[in-house]
């Protein structure tokens, strides 16, 4: 929890008085907050699910992709530099990030940065390894 607070600040801090439950659902280690699946574990780190990012309105560790990239992102593709229009400059290689679409800035996916946020806007190369996206198995878990 402290790691999430240091990454996202006050938004996560507000959850301290909520009811937390951990569970193993399918192959996912998740945290339910007040009965909602808002966090999941990947490589021992907890991070917001796409629903968690949507519900919590997080504003850090964000990468924005253009409309042309959306159909690839929601099908689980890794995120390529040419589709990125903005990236939080505080993102470091290895950080977990939230991928949002440009028009309405709605979360589409969660991934792991392969390069820094400052290097993500470019003409070629892979920037983010997709871990969880709208419509995948984790998104479709019914609590």
- Band (pLDDT 50/70/90 cuts) for residue 18 is confident
**Confidence at residue 82, expressed as pLDDT on a 0 to 100 scale:** 97
- Band (pLDDT 50/70/90 cuts) for residue 44 is confident
Question: How much is the CA Rg of the chain, to the nearest whole Å?
Answer: 14
**Confidence at residue 17, expressed as pLDDT on a 0 to 100 scale:** 81
- Note whether 133 and 110 are within 8 A (CB): yes
Averaged confidence pLDDT in the chain: 90
Asked which of 10-14, 46-50, 124-128 is least confident by mean pLDDT, the reply is: 10-14
Report domain extents, the chain. Answer: 2-133
> For the structural domain made of 2-133, what CATH number should be given?
3.10.400.20
- Token pair for 45: 């780190």
Query: Which of 51, 76, 98, 139 has its CA nearest to residue 84?
Result: 98
- Band (pLDDT 50/70/90 cuts) for residue 124 is very high
């Amino acid at each position: 929890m402290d790691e999430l607070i240091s990454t996202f600040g006050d938004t996560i801090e507000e959850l301290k008085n909520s009811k937390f439950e951990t569970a193993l659902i399918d192959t996912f280690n998740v945290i339910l907050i007040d009965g909602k699946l808002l966090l999941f574990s990947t490589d021992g780190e907890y991070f917001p699910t796409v629903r968690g990012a949507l519900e919590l309105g997080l504003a850090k560790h964000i990468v924005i992709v253009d409309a042309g990239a959306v159909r690839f992102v929601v099908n689980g593709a890794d995120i390529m530099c040419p589709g990125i229009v903005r990236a939080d400059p505080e993102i470091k290689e290895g950080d977990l990030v939230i991928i949002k679409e440009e028009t309405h800035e709605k979360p589409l996916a969660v991934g792991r940065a392969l390069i820094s946020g400052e290097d993500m806007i470019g003409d070629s190369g892979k920037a983010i390894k997709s871990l969880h996206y709208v419509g995948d198995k984790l998104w479709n878990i019914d609590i």
